[in-house]
Structure 1
Amino acid sequence: MPRTGPFERHTDRYDAWFEENEAAYKSEVRVLQQLVPEPGLGLEIGVGSARFAAPLGMQVGLDPAARMLARARERGVDAVGGVAEALPFRDGSFDTALLVTTICFVDDIPQTLSEARRVLRPDGSLVIGYIDRDSPVGQVYQEKQSENPFYRDAVFVSTDELVGALEAAGFTEFEFVQTIFHWPGDIDEREPVAEGYGEGSFVGIRASP
């Protein structure tokens, strides 16, 4: 079952985070821009309010939460209702598939990755942005899960676990970048972007189908 309740009830609170933590948000966008310089025809799976789809030029967004879809449309994204495990698109439809802070909310990671691969063109790219479970921010999020309506039911993953799932789904040619080296609320200026993973709390992966 998609975890839409908190996103339907607390849409304004969700969107406000990006304003209140603008430097951290822009740092995350910059990581993803490095991995998605030209998206072609792009789909964001779990588009939310299109805070990432819009600046990254993703034309299509999918989400199970109706209020999030409305916000995404306001930001110029063609928003479609649905879940990551059953994408309502034909095989080979997109050049880029994007998941940002979505992988911890899906019910079935292997099926999500399989569906993402299915809708990608052979020369396309999957890009995933997420908080690494083993990172400093990831550890705090887990410790305080019960206090946050969005993360209460989230299942965080480590980068190594996610790479294993990607390999099992048939993805190859991984590229990693990272940012967020401090607590998001303490960041006043955009954080640096570094290659690899293991130090920054927000990790971006690009992989080929």
Structure 2
Amino acid sequence: MSDPFESYFTEYDEWYDSEKGKIIYENEAKCIKKLLCSCEDRILEVGTGTGRFAVLAKNVTGVDKAFSPLKMAKLRGVPVVRAKAEVLPFRDKTFSCVVFIVTLPFVDDISLALNEAKRVLKDNGSIIVGDIFLDSYLGKLYEEKKKQGHPFYRFAKFYHFTEFQKILSQCGLKTEKVFGTLKNISFQSPEPEEPEEIEKNFKELPGFVCMEIKKW
């Protein structure tokens, strides 16, 4: 079975240049930047794809298991390494931040991927996750597309927010901050919006959620 991220990487990347894609990307980028500011040194983005989000920060190395999108990321000036999230070819405590942007639903073993991120993370570093959860309208939409055989989402496993928090805890990790963007109406007819910090209501999440995660 062919890897959709090998076969459709051009279409994936070009979507971000569409009228709708540009606005959604900017909203997501602002949400991610809220947490990237805590990264003081080397950054690793796991599942970097074509490098669209890696370019938001300096001193980023991108990792992806798909070869073709890495060529595009390299053209964007991102140093890249081909590797799986579950087997990162880096020494312990190398990075100040490890970033996953809609990557964890597509890994083979989420706990192993998080433990690898924890291993290469400095003691005071942060894991930054930007993702879509089943508690949001967007998560429900993507889950339905998965059932319909969407070329990307049929391979994904989306999580409820509380389920993901349990996985983090089992890996010796905890969530420190949560921001969100892409409210329902904004995704259907997107408009620029500012990310909002989420402190209480995790049962009704916006479409895109960004978390700062620390070691226990």
* TM-score exceeds 0.5: yes
- In the other structure, the counterpart of 1:26 is 26
- In the other structure, the counterpart of 2:181 is 179
Structure 1 position 147, deviation (Å):
4.6
Structure 2 unaligned regions, length at least 5: none
Structure 1 position 4, deviation (Å):
6.6
Matched, 1:14 2:12: yes
Structure 1 position 153, deviation (Å):
1.1
Structure 1 position 132, deviation (Å):
1.2
Matched, 1:61 2:62: yes
Query: TM-score scaled to structure 1, two decimals?
Result: 0.93
8 Å CA contact 1:4–1:65 kept in 2: the answer is no
Moved runs in structure 1, 4+ residues, more than 2 A? 182-185
Structure 1 position 161, deviation (Å):
1.3
Aligned to 1:129, the other structure's residue is in SS state strand
Query: TM-score scaled to structure 2, two decimals?
Result: 0.90
8 Å CA contact 1:44–1:58 kept in 2: the answer is no
- In the other structure, the counterpart of 2:142 is 141
Between 156-165 and 140-149, the greater mean CA deviation after superposition: 140-149
Percent of aligned pairs with the same amino acid:
34
Aligned to 1:104, the other structure's residue is in SS state helix
Structure 1 unaligned regions, length at least 5: none
Distance 1:147 1:185, change over 3 A: farther
Matched, 1:112 2:113: yes
Structure 1 position 192, deviation (Å):
2.6
Distance 1:56 1:184, change over 3 A: farther
- In the other structure, the counterpart of 1:200 is 206
Matched residue pairs, number? 206
Q: What amino acid does structure 1 have at the position aligned with 2:212?
A: R
Between 6-15 and 97-106, the greater mean CA deviation after superposition: 6-15
Alignment partners' CA distance in 1, 2:9 and 2:54:
17
- In the other structure, the counterpart of 2:168 is 166
Structure 1 position 191, deviation (Å):
2.2
1:144-167 CA distances to partner (integer Å, 9 max, x unpaired)?
A: 223521111111112211111111
